[in-house]
Structure formats: structure tokens, C-alpha cells
Copies of this chain bind each other. A is one copy, B any other.
Amino acid sequence: MNEVEIKKPQESLQDRLAQVIDLLHRHKLVEDLTHRQEGMHHDRVENLVHRQNLAELQRKLDELHPADVAHILEALPLDDRLTVWQLVKSENDGDILLEVSDAVRENLIADMDDHELLAAAKEMDADELADLAPELPRDVVHELMETLDAQQRERVRSALSYEEDQVGALMDFEMVTIREDVSLEVVLRYLRRLKELPSHTDKLFVVDYDGVLKGVLPVKRLLVNDPEKQVAEVMANDPVSFHPDEDGYDAAQAFERYDLVSAPVVDKNGKLIGRLTIDEMVDLIREESESEVLSMAGLREEEDIFASVWKSLRNRWSWLAINLITAFIASRVIGLFEGSIEKLVALAALMPIVAGIGGNSGNQTITMIVRAMALDQVGTGNTQRLLRKELAVALVNGLVWGGVIGAVAYALYGSWSLGVVMTAAMTLNLLLAALMGVLIPMTLARLGRDPAMGASVMITAMTDSGGFFIFLGLATLFLL
């Protein structure tokens, strides 16, 4: 659907979602009734109401932009999702499949037969096909490739040869190319013959006879300059361009930084091979920050919120298992000091405070560092300076809040020395939390791993075991 033809719905997304759910429920209610009451007369009436509801829902869905339908599908539980999916006009199937999240797409594709899939994919561009191909059944992909012409097939193959987040997999092929030795007047006439321009065309690409990129002609300049001028006079000679094997996220940052709308992609020899557009980059920025949140909490990937229990379990088990091991280690640390706890049972009540505050404080530090690393603000080179600052913050926190908790411990158990041990343990554990909060992501980055990965689980493991050891160790040394 053309961008400018979208009618902005009067209702908010939430409202529209509520309407769809309401219609679905009415539909189901009627279905239930029909099943229960078998009388001829009832049956006919309810069937009618049933059909009316579905028709209204279908009308509602037809009015919506594919992106809105995609959103509604994502927000519906599996059975409702498939009901709605069957009501969607099949000509929109392709657009919607491209908009939904991976988890939901898998769902919808599983519900379609080969014939429907082929029909949905028929209208797609090479780059869109490449996005979808990995999730389609093998024989459907095979059949699709047969229907393409040689150039299209080559483009799909090329897009598939890159990693999911490389520029080569993100670019599209809808470019308007012009020569530098013609006048703007000629360019304007040429464009009129095209009848339609690709979306996000804010610049035309100037190439020579070998297809090598010579510059870009921003549409803005085309419009304000004298049509008698040559393209070469007006074009920008050295535009921001990307290589297909660059990291897509770096490209997205460049789009964000330089406020780009589209940019050329060139190969090693400077030959124009594709184009990146801001809409793909926005999706990437969104995905990247999502995956950061999720991986910090120890979730493997974006989870369809209505995924089956089994899928959810698989997504969460790996980190839960790791957490189980770290919790077991913390437990064994306490086990070392069972003798001390037996003698002074207050230790058992106080030790989780030391561990808990350490975990919270460590999580604050690690969240900040991971954020700054994602934004390229800190590299492994800043480690020392960051460490000094975080340790200073931890020291103040330890003395202040550790002092408070020490006073409370004195008030509860009437022992000054217990209070002092508490304060000292808090301070040391906060220092440990700061140290680990900086070192864990830095080390992961140096090892070439994602610094966000399970950051929260790891820092908590450190501050738990560490906190118990420090507190119980100090108590054993000084109180018993």
C-alpha cells in the first residue's frame, strides 16, 4: 500500500485491538451456543448472528493497513490469531507476513498451504523474498525461485548469502540510476516516464557506464536547481555509502547520526549494488534495543507473548539452568559456614541483605555499562577510569547504606560488633558488585561476545556468592 494512501484511523491502536477482540468473542460465544442448543430454530438464528459478526470483523480488517493487521495478529492468542488470519484478504497476506515478528510469522506460515504461500510471495521484491525464504518450506522456495527471472534470482541468492544483520541482507534493489552527463531537464523527463518511484526515494544514484557510483543527486537539489544544469554540477560527489558486508547496526547508527533517508550500497569496486532505507534501519534499531533488554534478563530471543508453554520453556531454560548452578554455588558457600550460623543464627537473617543490595547495585552498574557500550561510548580502553568511578560510588554507598543497616542490626540484636561487620560486609560487597559490573561486560566484549548476554544473571551470581562469603567470613573471624 502506498504510504500516502494510508488513512490514519481515528481510533488508537489499543481501541482497534479491543474492537477486534470484542468481535472475536461475540463470534465465539455464538459458536458455543450453537454447539449446545441443537433446536432447528435456534440454530438458524445463531448461524446468522455468527456470520454477521464475522462479516463485520472482516470489513474492519479490510480497512486496516497491513502493518496494523500485523500488530493485531501479534497481540492475539494463537487460536484467535489464526481465526483473524483466515479472514484477512489473501492479497494482503504477503505484506502482513513481512510485518509480523519472526515468532508470529512462523505461526502463520505453518497455517498456510503451499498454494497460499506461493500466492503471497508472488508479489514480493527480491529483498523481501530473501527475508522470508529461510522460514518457508523447501519446496515452496524452490518453486518460487523457478518463477523468478535471472536477475531477481541472482538478487535473492546474493541477499541470502549474507548474515541476517549484514548490510547485504538489509538492502533493497529499487534504485533510480542516472548518468552524470545529462541535464536536470532530461532527468525530470526520465522520471516522468517511470510513472512511479520507489518508496523513500530522496536521492537518485549517479553511475557511470560500468555501474560505478559517481555521486548522488538529492531530489531536493533536482527540484530547486535550474533544469538546464548538468547532473554533474549539482550532484554530491562523495556521499555516505555502505558495503554489503558491513554490520547493519553500524549502518543504522550512521543513518541516525547523519539523518539519512536512503543511502547507496556499493561493492569493493565501487559498483552500485543496492540501497538502504531508513524504514529498515528503524526496525533494526528497535530490534537491537529489544534484544539487549531480553538478553540481559537471560531470555534467548524475542518471545511471542502467547507462545506455547513448551516454546517459552525452551527460550528460558538455558539461563535458568545456569542460574540454578550459581544458586547452588551460593548455597555451598553458606554451607561452609553452617557452624557459624548454628552459633549465631542472626547471621542467617542478615546475610540476604548484604547479597541483595549488592545484586541491585551491581545490576545498576552493569546496565549502564552495557548501554554505553551499545552506543559505542565506551570501549575496553576506558575500563580503568570507569572502574575508579564505579568503585568510588560503591564506597560511598557502602559506608552510607551499610552504616544504616549496621545501626539497624545493632538495634535488633544489641551487638555493636555485629553492626560493624554488617557495614564492612556491605561495603566490600558493593565494591565487588562495582568491580564485576564493569569487568563482566568488558571481558565479554573483549572475548567478542555480546556484553549484554545474561549480564543480570551473572552479576547476581557474583554478588550472592560473594556477599555470603564476605559477610559470613567476617562474622566467623570477628564475632565467634
Residue A110, interface by CB 8 Å: no
A340 smallest CB distance to B (angstroms):
9
Inter-subunit contact A202/B338 (CB<8 Å): no
A325-370, CB < 8 A from B: 326-328, 330-332, 334-335, 338, 341-342, 345-353, 355-357, 359-361, 363-364, 367-369
Q: A195: which B residues are within 8 A, CB to CB?
A: 224
Task: Compute how far the CA of A294 lies from the CA of B412 in the bound complex, rounded to whole angstroms.
Answer: 35
Q: Which of A194-249 contact B (CB under 8 A)?
A: 194-197, 199-203, 216, 218-226, 236, 238-241
Q: Which applies to chain A's interface (DSSP): helix, strand, loop or mixed?
A: helix
Contacts of A375 in B (CB 8 A): 74
Pick the contact of A377 from B196, B282, B305, B341 — CB < 8 Å?
B305
* Contact A346:B353 (CB < 8 A) given known A259-B200, A283-B256, A367-B294: no
The CA of A8 and the CA of B263, in the complex, are separated in Å by: 11
With A14-B379, A293-B293 given, is the CB distance from A332 to B316 under 8 Å?
Answer: no
Binds B, one of A129-137, A139-147, A284-292: A284-292
A150 within 8 A of B: no
Query: How many copies of the chain does the oligomer comprise?
Result: 2
A303, B368: Cβ atoms closer than 8 Å: yes
Residues of B within 8 A of A309 (CB): 389, 392-393, 396
List residues of chain B with CB within 8 A of the CB of A75: 376-378, 382
Q: Are A367 and B405 touching (Cβ within 8 A)? A: no
Please, which residue of chain B has its CB at the minimum distance from the CB of A409? B331
Residue interface bits A270-296, CB-to-B below 8 A is 1, else 0: 000000001101110110011011101
Q: State whether A200 and B261 are in contact (beta carbons under 8 Å apart), knowing that A192-B225, A378-B305 are contacts in the complex.
A: yes
Known: A293-B289, A327-B352, A338-B348. A192 touches B240 (CB 8 A): no
Question: Do the beta carbons of A327 and B293 come within 8 Å of each other?
Answer: no
A320 and B260 within 8 A (CB): no
